Amino acid sequence: STTFVSEMLEEVADRFSFQLQQRKIQIVIRVENGVTNLLLDRDKIDQVLDNLVSNAIKYTGDEGAIRLEARKIEKDMLEISVQDNGIGIPKKDLTRIFERFYRVDKARSRNMGGTGLGLSIAREIVKAHGGTIQLESELGQGTRVIFTLPIQQEEEDEL
């Protein structure tokens, strides 16, 4: 059904508010003007967002920052990105990061919990909806995951 994109992003942040407060991680949400209500498979997109935000929290130090952004790009696509300023991912692991059960260096993941499925599930969902997902990362600097979704139908603007 129809979803307000800014509401959707605020609600992801709300679901993680306890962890965010505990870790003193800031979350910034930015929705480009003109991105309002869209027809989205809300349950599935929430699953993608939860996966990405949980990673951003897990792999970011205390007092880090997470940025959630949504904007329209060419050909009626919505682009959503989740960016953190955490530990980052080594170059050599970047090509395998979306594989099922793939985790970067067991030592650093051991204490974090998880199975290595989050990103592969996120990719399956995004692909099933006709979008793409990619990840950019700089070791020690942070990570940004960007996914796109086709804009199926736009409701009339409220104005």
Contacting positions for ligand ATP (CB under 6 A): 51, 55-56, 59, 84, 86-89, 97, 102-104, 109, 114-120, 143
User: Least separation, in Å, of the C-beta of 132 and ligand ATP?
Assistant: 17
Q: Which of 64, 118, 131, 142 binds Mg ion (CB under 5 A)?
A: 118
**Based on CB atoms, which residue is closest to ligand ATP, 2 or 141?**
141
Q: Which residues of 9-41 are buried (b: 16+ CB within 10 A; e: fewer)?
A: beebbeebeeebeebebebebebeeebbbbebb
Taking CB under 5 A as the rule, does residue 81 contact Mg ion?
no
User: Between the CA of residue 93 and those of 82, 138, 141, what are the distances in Å?
Assistant: 19, 11, 15
Q: What is the binding site for Mg ion (CB under 5 A)?
A: 55, 118
